[in-house]
Structure 1
Amino acid sequence: MGASSGRRGSFKSSRSKPSRRSPDVSPSRSRHLASSSPEYLFDESQLQPPAQPPPDVQDLNQNLERLAALFPDIQVEVFREMLASFSEESRLFIITDKLLKNPGEFVKGRRRANDHAGSDANTLVSRTDAFRTAEYKRAVRALAAQEFKGLLSRSSIDAVLSEYNYSYLDARQTLVDLSSKTWKFTISSFLFRRKPVTSAEAETHPLIIWKSADDGSMVPTIKATGSSELDRELFEELIIPLKEREQLLREERDRAMAVSLLTEDAEAQEAMFECTCCYSDAIFEEITTCTAEGHIVCFNCVRHSITEAVFGQGWQRSIEKETGALRCPAVASVECASCISPEHIRRAMQAEKNGDEIIRKLDQRLAEHGLLSSGLPLIRCPFCTYAEVDDLYIPASARRPRIRVSNIPNIVVIFICLILSPLSVPILILALAFAILSLNYSFRAYVSRRLGAAVMRYQRRRRGLRFNCQNPACKRSSCISCSKAWVDVHVCHESSLVALRTQVEQAMSMAIKRVCPRCSTSFVKTAGCNKLTCPCGYKMCYVCRKNIGTPNEGYQHFCQHFRPEGDGRQCGECSKCNLWEAENTEEILRKAKMEAEQKWRESERRELSDAEKAYLEDGVGRFCRDKGLGRLLPGGKVPSIDEVCDLIIEALFV
């Protein structure tokens, strides 16, 4: 079973039919919805505040936060499983001790990647990873049982929900995939023309029920589930995006109507103005003038000029970098040297569909130009456009390294030993060659640059490599040296292959794992038949996840027709699960591996080299450790020039 592809997949409920037309959603008209259906939620004011979790759930979630802070590189589901397995007394200390002494026994490839793109850096445990209350679980089970009634057994639904920690919107895609393969769905789709729905359109989502208001408009609603937390999740994921989109559409329609009315009135009064750029007529509210000559320019020309400057080839020609103004685009015999003010630019861009985004891009390019023009050395956030002046380059705060006096006697002793040793001749030859090369200015400049860079890296390590972005939309921490996300304990210049291997192992593990709905233990079938027995005693089918621990189930759940042992083909005489049916594990793992590698390529913006591919295949970097001098050197490789310079600086300076 592949991991869920998100919250786009859906399955049409037999209890509701979405409208084929795109309905008019209006928050102002939603209050006119008939009061005869109070169980349908259409407004945020109807949502109840989330109830306080029971003390045991609060304690579990607090322990979850503590463990996530202690072991930030381990997935939260590992802590959740261990907390559910141990008794309440001293379980936090027991789990911490086990993870410190033998992490491989519990983690098994379930580690987090170093770079969490798109995740909230301030949140250790997300809402979908936290422990759920019994009320929330009952509401999720009831919702799934209602939607997939007659298609999946309750035990199969419980098993899938357990795999996703009862996050219903995440588990729906797997439930849809399982239900579409059953013989019940095949019969119902043939007799009742029931179609599988995997719609990405919010209007046709089966959990949304369209209700008619008194004014004839259609209002999207969701049926109350009995859990205030689940109601709020469904409302935020399904209803609010529809309302926000309709709000934007309504504003665009209102503005277009206002411009149309003003244009008709201005044409009737002969109060139109001619644009000196495109020579079209415009109303007074849709024009601006340049600061000196007073050329009239319509907002359409302003919008076109700004868009071309930001995304096209008009940056140098159209933008005044010092003030951020737009050079006058009026067509005249002599080019106008005046500008259109930034205030009028923002006013013109308000009517553009993506006007705020274009203005933001314009401000970024102006800020970038100002930073480059200043000539100051900058430190940049690798995850956004934020930059600040590097304080190490400011004379007031720069601290030059001092000679390490305590190391001078040691260096002198080492030098005398080298002179008296059999290696003295090669050393003298190297020293003479270095002295001769030092007469060359280019060589001296090269050595000076290398040593200067080593001194700067040394100062950087003394100051600290952690860089905290101050952009409110980012707020992520990174390493100044290697530009990777900062994770304690940070190893600078650590190969990104570790992150790739972690992502691949995680994706392959998630693709074939199952979760026991009784004790929440994760496991993977490596061999044997499809009758799985959890250590807690729960028995389930690996194919459909149904509970087969009842006396009437067991092996009777599987096909009883004669077949050779290990034959995984589908039976032609019945539709029961095959005891020996095996998923194409190699194909599933290959697909998961390819998806993880593709995400890594997009984040790293490069391809794997042959040596890196060999590293991933054998698990160790033997390709660089078994050659020549690498056997005698620490780390198994010849040090680079930068590493030699760093060693010299660290040995001589403090």
Structure 2
Amino acid sequence: MDVVPPLPRTGRLWKTKADFFRPFRSAAASETGQNITLLYDPSLHLQETDEEPDLRDLNGALSALVDIFPDVEPEAVREMLLSVSESSRVEIVTEQLLKKHLKWHRGRIWAAFRKEGAETDHGKQQRQARDHEPGLTNDDMFRHDSYKSAVKQVLYKEFSHLNHSTIKAVMAEQNYSYTLSRPILQQLASRTWRSSFANMLSRRSTVQAAEQHPYIAMESSSSTDVAPAVRRTGSAQLDHELYQLFVDPISRKQGQDRLAVDHAYATEINQTEAEDNNALFDCECCYDAVPFERMAVCDDACHQLCFDCIRRSTHEAMYGQGWAQTIDTSKSTLRCFASSAEVCAGALPAEIVRRALYDPAKTEDVWEALQNRAAGDALLKSGLPLQRCPFCEYAEVDEVPPLRVRRLLLIWSHIATRSSTTLQIMILSLTAALVLITVPVFLLASLIWIAILLIPPLGAKLDASWSRVYKSRSGHRFKCQNPSCARTSCIRCTARWRDPHVCFENEKTSLRTAIESSATAAVKRTCPRCLLSFVKSSGCNKLVCNCGYTMCYICRQEITAKEGYGHFCQHFRPSGGRCVECERCDLYGDEDEEGAIRKAAAAAELAWREKEGGKGGEDGVAAQRMVDALVGRSQRLRWWDIVLDTLIDAVAA
């Protein structure tokens, strides 16, 4: 009798009815073509939205509260909105912020430079949008459930070797933003035994990173180019975010490379046809034979100059010592530099020079830089009082309008409501004297007016007083009208304007605030279950939230009740230091926390020094302005200047 060996235990083949029918459904889907991978097309799917009415209400309330309290982090406002009911949520949060403003303000100041360390193209676009129109970005808004679920699935596949609880904790810290969560997860992945492999991946190019991404499909569009595409994740917002991170840089780079190759090929064909037809012209600078399409002619003696000589001359003028001799600032173009003529008063047409400077392989616009520098030289030679934008080359004339006298009733109303008591008493006394001696006072005023007109120092005093009064009325906020800049700055301290704005804040307070904010952001942790943010001050690295969620402070992984303290290293280390027998987290180790704080503090201090260093000047103007702001303008002006300013402010319209 044959003995049949028992079958090995492999577990249940089908746990549910769905597991039994899954192979048949997959085969049916493959026959009908339903398993075709859908790709994201920004021209078709960009208008799709995942936002619900309740989510729109939350984002509207968040935008309103951030506008009211611009110095409070949006993260703090989001936490408070989630903790109140739907009815009167804006009023309740506003009341709480007014009562506990210092508590929410300390360590949570909205510092834009904290997120500019490792900035991607997508993050740079959002920062520029915030610079032009201050407010919230997509990373600060409430997220839809479909977006959260899609981000979670994408990160699960991309970082399959990380624990799911770690990924959820990082997502909760970064408001479920894929762009902000991905760099942190890459750093956490580098701490494992795959650190060497992860470091190699961090130095990959954009094309290699896109090829390894699970939701990026690489399709061959031609024999050489490989066009990437985004597989649909179920959320149009995440699809567009992946497109901006991976596909758009590659597409733009391929377009630039293709344009450069086409331009070089067209130039080569044009050169060959011109040589075959004997249609070459000699350059009067380098005496090289070039086609007519690559030749410029001056507007005076018709000297012929090739595009290569124009580019070399422009480069020498911009970055060398030939600016005054090469550039005609009155026409914002190049002078004729033909070597066959001793002196030529002509200039090259601006449109031809622009064509000569065009290079599709370079991203910088040399022609625009040339025009900006020529315009700057023309403004300096004009001698006009200018107010410049500290972020670009834009400048406008800082002119003061002519003095206009108000009507008598408006003058009296201004004196009665806005002037000091001493000045009111003086005006009343003067009015009583005018009633008694009208003619002598009128004659005195006439003599003063004539003296102002005839004596230049008195007129200069009056103009200076009116200039001070006008600038005091108009304020120190300066709006740049350059469409590519459109930033708002302060006239006194030349810093970017942010409400509430204070000129020349105390350096030690500013530095301490920047370091504290960066250090808080470096050690902050967020519970992925209740979204409560906290910072560990002492104790072990096993953190228990108020909601009962337990996580590791170092790796952010969830610690189950079964695992307990077994998540941490159990080996004895008499000399301390890193454990060489396992890669588990330390129970009381804080070297990673101290290193993160030091790195964040160093970055904050460097950013603060770069920011504050740009305000100063060697001529002492910025230093004098700072003294004026700290000491006060009234202590530097004489008493008669103050009286004159008060009178001009009352009389001028």
How much does 1:607 deviate?
10
1:180 lines up with 2:190 in the alignment: yes
Alignment of 1:454-603 (within 5 A): 456-495=467-506, 498-548=509-559, 550-561=560-571, 569-603=577-611
1 CA distance for matches of 2:552 and 2:513?
A: 29
How much does 1:321 deviate?
1.7
1:209·1:221 contact (CA, 8 Å) conserved in 2? Answer: yes
2 CA distance for matches of 1:174 and 1:480?
A: 39
How much does 1:169 deviate?
2.5
How much does 1:493 deviate?
4.3
Alignment of 1:205-604 (within 5 A): 205=209, 206-207=212-213, 208-213=216-221, 215=223, 217-351=225-359, 353-354=361-362, 357-392=365-400, 394-395=401-402, 410=422, 456-495=467-506, 498-548=509-559, 550-561=560-571, 569-604=577-612
Compared CA separation, residues 409 and 124, structure 1 to 2 (3 A): closer
Q: 1:132 is matched with which residue: 143, 151, 169?
A: 143
2 CA distance for matches of 1:257 and 1:296?
A: 24
1 CA distance for matches of 2:145 and 2:551?
A: 22
2 CA distance for matches of 1:81 and 1:329?
A: 67
- Report the more deviating stretch, 169-178 or 256-265: 169-178
1:143 lines up with 2:141 in the alignment: no
Q: Residue type of the partner of 1:552?
A: K
Q: In the alignment, which residue of structure 2 is the partner of 1:65?
A: 63
- CA deviation map 1:205-235 (0-9, x unaligned): 1324433357574222333322211011110
2 CA distance for matches of 1:242 and 1:330?
A: 43
The RMSD of aligned alpha carbons is: 3.7
How much does 1:92 deviate?
1.6
1:106 lines up with 2:116 in the alignment: no
1:158·1:517 contact (CA, 8 Å) conserved in 2? Answer: yes
Compared CA separation, residues 402 and 154, structure 1 to 2 (3 A): same
* TM-score, normalization by structure 1: 0.76
How much does 1:273 deviate?
0.9
Which secondary structure state, in structure 2, belongs to the residue aligned with residue 641 of structure 1?
A: coil
Q: Residue type of the partner of 1:164?
A: Q
Q: In the alignment, which residue of structure 1 is the partner of 2:29?
A: none
- CA deviation map 1:138-182 (0-9, x unaligned): 111111111221x21111110011111112222222212222222
Compared CA separation, residues 136 and 230, structure 1 to 2 (3 A): same
1 CA distance for matches of 2:147 and 2:368?
A: 41
2 CA distance for matches of 1:490 and 1:156?
A: 40
More helix by share: 2
Gaps of 5+ in 1: 1-34, 415-443, 609-633
1 CA distance for matches of 2:589 and 2:527?
A: 20
2 CA distance for matches of 1:585 and 1:450?
A: 61
2:493·2:615 contact (CA, 8 Å) conserved in 1? Answer: no
How much does 1:134 deviate?
0.7
Compared CA separation, residues 194 and 51, structure 1 to 2 (3 A): closer
Q: Residue type of the partner of 2:146?
A: E
2:311·2:357 contact (CA, 8 Å) conserved in 1? Answer: yes
How much does 1:334 deviate?
2.4
Compared CA separation, residues 450 and 40, structure 1 to 2 (3 A): farther
2 CA distance for matches of 1:448 and 1:73?
A: 45
Q: In the alignment, which residue of structure 1 is the partner of 2:443?
A: none
- Report the more deviating stretch, 214-223 or 87-96: 214-223
Q: In the alignment, which residue of structure 1 is the partner of 2:53?
A: 55
Q: 1:201 is matched with which residue: 200, 205, 218?
A: 205
Which secondary structure state, in structure 1, belongs to the residue aligned with residue 498 of structure 2?
A: coil
Compared CA separation, residues 134 and 42, structure 1 to 2 (3 A): closer
How much does 1:129 deviate?
1.1
Q: Residue type of the partner of 1:316?
A: A
Which secondary structure state, in structure 1, belongs to the residue aligned with residue 47 of structure 2?
A: coil
1 CA distance for matches of 2:198 and 2:329?
A: 61
Which secondary structure state, in structure 2, belongs to the residue aligned with residue 578 of structure 1?
A: coil
Q: Residue type of the partner of 1:99?
A: L
How much does 1:488 deviate?
3.0
1:42·1:220 contact (CA, 8 Å) conserved in 2? Answer: no
Q: 2:169 is matched with which residue: 149, 152, 159?
A: 159
2 CA distance for matches of 1:287 and 1:74?
A: 60
Which secondary structure state, in structure 1, belongs to the residue aligned with residue 497 of structure 2?
A: coil
How much does 1:324 deviate?
2.0
Q: Residue type of the partner of 2:422?
A: N
1:112·1:502 contact (CA, 8 Å) conserved in 2? Answer: no
Which secondary structure state, in structure 1, belongs to the residue aligned with residue 131 of structure 2?
A: coil
Q: Residue type of the partner of 2:173?
A: E
Compared CA separation, residues 92 and 536, structure 1 to 2 (3 A): farther
Which secondary structure state, in structure 2, belongs to the residue aligned with residue 379 of structure 1?
A: strand
Q: 1:78 is matched with which residue: 76, 79, 99?
A: 76
How much does 1:286 deviate?
0.6
Compared CA separation, residues 478 and 651, structure 1 to 2 (3 A): same
Which secondary structure state, in structure 2, belongs to the residue aligned with residue 120 of structure 1?
A: helix
Q: In the alignment, which residue of structure 2 is the partner of 1:629?
A: none
Which secondary structure state, in structure 2, belongs to the residue aligned with residue 340 of structure 1?
A: coil
Q: Residue type of the partner of 2:203?
A: S
2 CA distance for matches of 1:104 and 1:409?
A: 37
- CA deviation map 1:483-516 (0-9, x unaligned): 2222334334444655444322221111111111
2:542·2:550 contact (CA, 8 Å) conserved in 1? Answer: yes
1 CA distance for matches of 2:405 and 2:387?
A: 15
Q: Residue type of the partner of 1:559?
A: C
2 CA distance for matches of 1:164 and 1:517?
A: 10
2 CA distance for matches of 1:36 and 1:299?
A: 57
- Report the more deviating stretch, 327-336 or 46-55: 46-55
> Which protein has the larger Cα radius of gyration, Structure 1 or Structure 2?
2
Compared CA separation, residues 336 and 353, structure 1 to 2 (3 A): farther
- CA deviation map 1:528-584 (0-9, x unaligned): 011111122211111111112x331333323345679xx974445544322222234
Which secondary structure state, in structure 1, belongs to the residue aligned with residue 543 of structure 2?
A: strand
2 CA distance for matches of 1:220 and 1:154?
A: 28
Q: Residue type of the partner of 1:53?
A: E
* TM-score, normalization by structure 2: 0.76
Which secondary structure state, in structure 2, belongs to the residue aligned with residue 174 of structure 1?
A: helix
2 CA distance for matches of 1:545 and 1:74?
A: 26
Compared CA separation, residues 569 and 45, structure 1 to 2 (3 A): same
Compared CA separation, residues 385 and 645, structure 1 to 2 (3 A): farther
2 CA distance for matches of 1:507 and 1:535?
A: 25
1:378·1:389 contact (CA, 8 Å) conserved in 2? Answer: yes
2 CA distance for matches of 1:474 and 1:410?
A: 46
